[in-house]
Amino acid sequence: MQSDAGMTLRHCPLCEADNQSGPAVHQQGQWEVRQCACGMVYLENPPPYVDFEETYAWDKTSVAEREERQQREPVLQAVSDVIKAVRRNVFKRDKLGDLIRRHFMPGNVVDVGCAAGNFLLQLDRQYIPFGIEISKALAAAANDAVQPRGGRVVQAAAVDGFAKFGDEKFSGVIMSSFLEHEVQPKQLLEQCAGHLAEDGRVIIKVPNYGCFNRTVRGERWCGFRYPDHVNYFTPETLVQICREAGLSIISFGWNDHHPVSDNMWLVAGKAA
């Protein structure tokens, strides 16, 4: 459904209930976040897909978001940068890489929302890199980057992107910091399930709306981004939407979604 301003008015992406008559649980300007009786929290009126190709493309919004946070809370942002650097350079923490090595068999791997393809190029040679990216500029750069390794990147909304791969099957699907951006998350996960090889796995990383930090930080929680974060998952709603889309939960322990972490990680496979 389209609003007068051209924005999409969504029903609940999990159970499809219409929550327009209820109050917004969060709001910034024109952007209104609803909470459904099923537990799902979502942006009701996201921009149309075409706006994410350029206007709200990740390469633009991520820079603007970081600059805004640095101006608003410079000390907190500086501390956060130091912690990330220590994790990366001292403790060599690589959660995504560890999960890939543990769960992905050799073969085709697709990164949904691959940006310029930088992560795809870091994959071990046993994986052939594919990608889906809605930003025109980033998709073109990523495609040029992965072609020498036999892969390709399609420029499209994620659901349409999977369709462009035809009957291609993937041993691994990466959705790291992506599903929160997807207007049709259940449909995307269904497409993902259909394109997984029998022993294929999908790795999902999303902000944890159910975390303690969100309660303490309120509207300044780092997981809020308007208007490009359109889904706000809790551990319960993330598991439910995966199962309803035809995926089984392979790995989602307490340490993958503990209450003081802003993010959560889930590994899924094809349902039996």
**Segment 192-251, tens digit of pLDDT:** 999 999 999 999 999 999 999 999 999 999 999 999 999 999 999 999 999 999 999 999
- Residue 3: the pLDDT is 44
With tokens 């073969």, the residue in question is 107
Looking at residue 116, what is its pLDDT?
94
What is the Cα gyration radius of the chain? 18
Give the model's pLDDT for residue 2.
Answer: 44
Give pLDDT, residue 272. 80
Whole-number pLDDT of residue 72: 66
- Of 208, 241, 235, 264, the C-alpha closest to 12 is 241
User: Cα separation of 98 and 223, whole Å?
Assistant: 23
The whole-number pLDDT of residue 109 equals 98
For residue 258, what are its two tokens? 């503990």
Residue 49: what pLDDT? 72
Q: How far apart are CA 59 and CA 134, in angstroms?
A: 11
* pLDDT of res. 4: 44
pLDDT at 123: 96
Q: What is the pLDDT of residue 115?
A: 92
239: enclosing H helix or E strand: helix 235-244
- Residues of the chain short of pLDDT 70, as ranges, are 1-8, 52-92
